[in-house]
Structure 1
C-alpha cells in the first residue's frame, strides 16, 4: 500500500502555484472549495475527462511529448489541448498533491483492444491515492474506457462509476481491472503497487511516440466524456457512446469533417501546420 513506501513518490516535488491551480480549476469547470475529502476527488475525477480529452495528435504528427509538469500544464491547460495517459495523470496527480492528497504513480500492462496472445510492455500510467486508510485507484487517461470516478482498490465485486461498471481482482500479487461491456467482462489492464518515477514513464512514452509499430504514431485516438456518455474518434470513425441506448457510429469522409469533430465535440485547439491534415487525408484514403 502507499504507506509502505511513504516519501517515495513522483509527486513529492510536483506542485502547482495558486495561479496555476486557479487556471486548472477554470479549465475543468471546478467551482467551490477543494477540501481534503472523497467528495473533492470524485468531483475532480468526473470533471477532468469531460474537459480535457484523451488524444495522441502530437505523436501522430511527430511532435515530441514532454512529461515535465511545466510542459503538460502548458499544453493541457494553457493551450487547450488534450494528451495521453502520462500527460493526463502527471497533471492530475500534481493537482491532487498540491491540494494535500497522498498520491503515487503506478504502471499497468494493457490488455484492452489488443490481439489475443499479444504481450505489451507496461505502457499505461494510473494513480493510487490513500485517504483515511482506504486506497483508491484513479485514472483520467485511459481514453474511451476511462472510469469517471475513483475505484476502491481492495473492494470486492462491482463498482459503478455512473458511466460503466468495473471490478478489481487480486491474483498472485497483481491487480486486474475489468470493465463490463454489453454484458461481458473485459480485461483492461494488470498492475502492481510498485511506485513509478518520472523517468520510468519517460522511457515508455518515448517508445510509444517513436516505435514503428506503436499505435500512437499510426492511428488517431481521441476520447472525451460528457455527462450522458462518451465521444470516441478512431482515425475517421466517430462514435457516441451513451449510458442508455445503442452507440451511434459515423464514418467521416473528409478531412474537414474530422477537424470539425475535433474542434466541436472534443474542444481541441488544434496545432498549426499541415501535418495533421496530411495524416487525416491518409485515413480517409485508406479507410473509405
Structure 2
C-alpha cells in the first residue's frame, strides 16, 4: 500500500529528511541513517497490554503523528510503505533473533527486515532492531566488514542462511539469522501476535527503548539506562522507577499519553 503524498511528506519531516526523496541508494541510505535516530524503538504497547496494529494508518498515527515509536513490525512496516511510495522494489524478510543469546539458540522468526533491490545489487535495510540497529545499508556479501554511521557490521552466509553481526570492541556478535525467503503479511501477523501477547515474549513483561542518533546510542532496559559513543566506554545508570517516564520523554522523545498507568507498571519492575 502506498502512502499519500501528505503522509510521505509528514514522515520525511518527522525523520529530518531534507531535499527530494528518490528511489535511489542515496535516499535509502539517508532514510536508514535518520529514522532510528528520531523514531525510537519501544515496546510500550505490549508492556501495557495494548494491541499493536500493523496497518499504514496505525503506523502513521503512532510513529509519525503520535510522538511514539514501536518495534520491528511497526518500524520496518512503516519503512516498507515509504519505500513502496517512493518506487523502490523490495522483499520483506523474517529473522530469528540471536542478540545476547547462544549462536545455536532456537528462536522464532519474530524480526522483520527488508531486502531492497538497487541497480548495483540488493541491500538489507533495517530500522527496527533496537539498540543494535544497523544504521547503514548492508550489501549481501559474506564475510566482508561494512562501515555504517555507527559500528561496523558484516554478514555471514552458509548453506543459504545468513547471519548479521555487529562489531563491538573488536568482537563480532550475532544479532540475528535469516534466509532470503519472502515473508508474507500473515507471517508478520503471526509474529506480531506472539511478540506482543505471549507470556514468553520479553516485550510483554520488560520495558525496552532505544534510539541511535548520529554518533550515539541510547538504550533503556527496565530501569537500566545506557548511553554509548563508538570508541568510548559505555555510560550506565540505574534509574529510580519514578525517573523512567521523564527519561522516555526527554531522551527518547516519546509522547506519553497515560503517564500514571505507565509509572505504576514500571514500579513493578523494581
Distance in 1 separating the partners of 2:145 and 2:68: 33
Structure 2 match to 1:237: 224
Q: Give RMSD over aligned pairs.
A: 1.3
Distance in 2 separating the partners of 1:270 and 1:117: 38
Alignment match of 2:119 (pick from 117, 120, 132): 132
Structure 2 match to 1:274: 260
1:107-146 map, 5 Å: 107-114=94-101, 118-146=105-133
Shift of 1:271: 2.6
Shift of 1:92: 0.6
Shift of 1:275: 2.6
Consecutive unaligned residues in structure 2, runs of 5 or more:
none
Distance in 2 separating the partners of 1:224 and 1:31: 20
Distance in 1 separating the partners of 2:112 and 2:23: 23
Distance in 2 separating the partners of 1:86 and 1:34: 23
SS of the residue aligned with 1:161?
Answer: coil
Deviations 1:74-99 (A, max 9, x none): 11011010000000001011101100
Alignment match of 2:185 (pick from 189, 198, 201): 198
Distance in 1 separating the partners of 2:255 and 2:155: 36
Q: Is the 8 A contact 1:103 1:130 kept in 2?
A: yes
Give the 3 Å change call, closer, same or farther, for CA 180–223 of structure 1 in structure 2. same
Structure 2 match to 1:68: 55
Shift of 1:196: 1.3
Shift of 1:273: 5.6
Superposition TM-score, scaled by structure 1 size: 0.91
Distance in 1 separating the partners of 2:42 and 2:75: 10
Shift of 1:116: 6.8
Shift of 1:133: 4.2
Q: Is the 8 A contact 2:241 2:263 kept in 1?
A: no
Distance in 2 separating the partners of 1:149 and 1:230: 14
Q: Is the 8 A contact 1:208 1:214 kept in 2?
A: yes
Distance in 2 separating the partners of 1:151 and 1:19: 30
Shift of 1:48: 0.6
Structure 2 match to 1:6: none
Give the 3 Å change call, closer, same or farther, for CA 118–156 of structure 1 in structure 2. closer
Distance in 1 separating the partners of 2:129 and 2:47: 17
Shift of 1:115: 5.5
Distance in 2 separating the partners of 1:58 and 1:259: 14
User: Is 1:210 aligned to residue 235 of structure 2?
Assistant: no
Q: Is the 8 A contact 1:163 1:243 kept in 2?
A: yes
Shift of 1:114: 2.8
